Amino acid sequence: LQKLIHLLQATDDPLIQEQALITLSNSAAFSVNQDIIRNLDGLSVIGGMLSNCVPKVKEKALNALNNLSMNIKNQEEIQVFITQVCRTVESAPLNSDVQLAGLRLLTNMSVTSDYHQKMINSIPCLLQLLSKGTERTQIQVLKVLVNLSANPAMTRHLLRAQV
């Protein structure tokens, strides 16, 4: 895991980055690896890949963070990327793999109300995706919106959203 994280930092080759992110994402299926990746500063390295201009690399980074977000301690570190993930969802091509990966991460990060405030500005975009997206996109958006709606503090923001 340490070598993979170092490899991500050391290479500019998108194919290598993509493969390293896939391997880290698969490794994150095991809770012990989730802790190891966090302790090796892997979350910030993977999060840094969100600004990569290659869509496949960005998608794989979102998938890795999604798998890593199953851990509360990891969520505390991943939350710094929520605004960037929201922007990625908004700017990604409609129904793209990048958009869906971002929505899946937002779903996991919105299971508890701890980070809902960071998603407020994206509510209008989520509602637009609900009307314009394919069924797969709509389902992911609904999961995020259901999580947000479970928080009474979000009611006003959900009802006032301009679409």
Average pLDDT over residues 12-41: 97
CA–CA separation, 158 and 68 (whole Å): 28
Other CB atoms within a 10 A radius of the CB of residue 96 amount to: 15
pLDDT tens sequence across 121-141: 999 999 999 999 999 999 999
Going along the chain from its start, the domains and CATH numbers come out as 1-79 (1.25.10.10), 80-162 (no CATH)
pLDDT band at 158 (very low <50, low <70, confident <90, very high): very high
| Residue indicated by tokens 């009307």 | 131
pTM: 0.96
CA–CA separation, 50 and 33 (whole Å): 21
